[in-house]
Amino acid sequence: MAEHYDAIVIGAGSVGVPAAMSLAASGVRTLVLDGRASAGQGSNKTAIGGVRATHSDPAKIRLCLRSLEIFSTWKERWGDDIGWSQGGYAFVAYREREESILRGLLAVQKSKGLNIAWLGRRELLELIPDLAPDGLVGGTFSPEDGSASPLLALHAFYLRAKALGVEFRFHEPVTGLETAGGRVRGVRTPQGHYGADVVLNAAGARAAAVARMAGMEVPVRPDAHEAAITEPVAPFLKPMVVDSRPVAGSANYYFYQHATGQVILCLTPHPSVWGEECGETSGFLPLVARRLVRLMPRLANIRVRRTWRGLYPMTPDGFPIVGWSQELAGYLLAVGMCGQGFMLGPGLGELLARVVTRKTTAADDEILDILSPYRQFAGQEQLK
Ligand SMILES: Cc1cc2nc3c(=O)[nH]c(=O)nc-3n(C[C@H](O)[C@H](O)[C@H](O)COP(=O)(O)OP(=O)(O)OC[C@H]3O[C@@H](n4cnc5c(N)ncnc54)[C@H](O)[C@@H]3O)c2cc1C
């Protein structure tokens, strides 16, 4: 007889681990399966740790406001240092186009409870004195956003999930689903099979293959992004700075100074680099360095210590895909986190627990509607 669980989570990543933690806290007997050796070995460990509720739509704003509460109070509540630092996020505008997009979003952001303001050029330069002043119009600043360590945070969630009774099995990829009468009944792995009433696909960049096991096509594709970290320098920068002007070879560019002094840099390649290849490229550093020096000339001589590459589980509109399958009862999706899975994880985990225990609120239903697997994918996230 296969062991039976209330819920099986496929993937011990940015989403699967906090989801399992919240499921167990709601009394759901949960098993997490992952093909890799330990928790957070997929995209989670490649994230740079940015946590913001500064998004363009109510679903991500609400989920991340809750995540911010969880990240920022974790140490006080549970004792583990997860590297939380509240430096805020600044989206800078050097052109009318970015100014009008950023200003246009303020109403919806504020209406959902985000603490954010438009800063004129002078105020922004007071906050970030090293920004290149030429052509700077202003920007938004959301002081309650911040950053945390994806490694420390996921490990803390993993330990908490285990303390709540979640079982984890590593080196054990899910290879198929067991179904009967239009319902999911469990999963198969090379080591055996496990029964469950609910199966949650939280398989990150591999979510489409795992959805196909349920006969579903979900538009999630691995999209490779690189990042870099410099040598440590004296503190000079508090917020994460995002420059969304496109430049040849890249769409937007963002960086922050870690509490230990290093600057961490990232950009969105344009065109996108599809596929699972995670080797660093020789093209990234010249591209990101030019953007760094253009935005902050003072950093011209800073030395980069390391670059790495990971995967965004990307969707066509830049929004996650969350909700039940209509074809296979009991099969739940929490996939397509794009560049925000780490920051979405804790808030989304709690929402998933309410979905599984059928305790969603009206606000949850609005989120689920926006992130529905059955939406048209016609919109476009403006702050990807
Ligand atoms: C350079 C870079 C910087 C980033 N910066 C940020 C940031 O600042 N903030 C932020 O919020 N996000 C950031 N991200 C994005 C973030 O890393 C992802 O959105 C997030 O990790 C996705 O979470 P996930 O749980 O969906 O996937 P993952 O964390 O990859 O977890 C999925 C898990 O599923 C497992 N799996 C897959 N298939 C199977 C199977 N068949 N059976 C069992 N297990 C399976 C995998 O092994 C993996 O462990 C960044 C990403 C990159 C590449």
pLDDT tens for 354-376 read: 999 999 999 999 999 999 999 99
Half-sphere exposure for 277 (CA within 13 Å, toward CB)? 7
Q: Give mean pLDDT, residues 42-57.
A: 97
Separation between Cα atoms, residue 276 and residue 310, nearest integer Å: 8
Q: How many CB atoms lie within 10 A of CB 17?
A: 32
Residue 225 clears pLDDT 70, i.e. is over it: yes
Tell me the per-residue pLDDT of 78-104, one tens digit each, with 9 for 90 and over.
999 999 999 999 999 999 999 999 999
Q: Give mean pLDDT, residues 332-357.
A: 98
CA of 253 to the centre of ligand 1 (A): 20
The three-state secondary structure class of 74 is: helix
> Which atom, in ligand 1's list, is nearest to the CA of 33?
43
Nearest to 273 by CA among 249, 308, 247, 306: 249
CA of 383 to the centre of ligand 1 (A): 19
Helical H segments across the chain, by residue range: 16-25, 58-78, 96-111, 121-127, 150-163, 207-212, 284-295, 341-356, 362-370
Model confidence at 383, pLDDT cuts 50, 70, 90, reads confident
Separation between Cα atoms, residue 124 and residue 146, nearest integer Å: 17
Residue nearest to atom 20 of ligand 1 (CA): 341
Tell me the per-residue pLDDT of 130-159, one tens digit each, with 9 for 90 and over.
999 999 999 999 999 999 999 999 999 999
Residues 6+ apart with CB under 8 A from 219: 208, 315, 316, 321, 336, 377
DSSP state of 302: P
Spell out which residues line ligand 1, taking CB within 6 angstroms. 10-16, 33-36, 41-44, 46-50, 173-174, 202-206, 210, 225, 227, 266, 310-313, 337, 339-343
Find the angle CA(250)-CA(254)-CA(257) to the nearest 5 degrees. Answer: 145
Q: Give mean pLDDT, residues 116-132.
A: 98
| Structure tokens belonging to residue 172 | 């054990």
Place of tokens 């999930």: 161
> Which atom, in ligand 1's list, is nearest to the CA of 49?
8
Angle between helices 58-78 and 341-356 (to 10 degrees): 90
Residue nearest to atom 9 of ligand 1 (CA): 50
Strands 176-180 and 183-189, bridge-based pairing: antiparallel
Place of tokens 């600044």: 90
CA of 347 to the centre of ligand 1 (A): 16
Residue 384 clears pLDDT 80, i.e. is over it: no
Contact 8, 30 (CB under 8 A): yes
> Which atom, in ligand 1's list, is nearest to the CA of 11?
34
The three-state secondary structure class of 202 is: coil
**Which of 52, 337, 348 best tests ligand 1's pocket when mutated (most atoms within 8 Å of CB)?**
337
Residue 1 clears pLDDT 70, i.e. is over it: no
CA of 73 to the centre of ligand 1 (A): 23
CA of 14 to the centre of ligand 1 (A): 6
Handedness of CA 109, 113, 115, 119 (dihedral sign): positive
Tell me the per-residue pLDDT of 266-302, one tens digit each, with 9 for 90 and over.
999 999 999 999 999 999 999 999 999 999 999 999 9
Residue 380 clears pLDDT 90, i.e. is over it: no
CA of 349 to the centre of ligand 1 (A): 14
pLDDT value at residue 114 = 97
CA of 224 to the centre of ligand 1 (A): 11
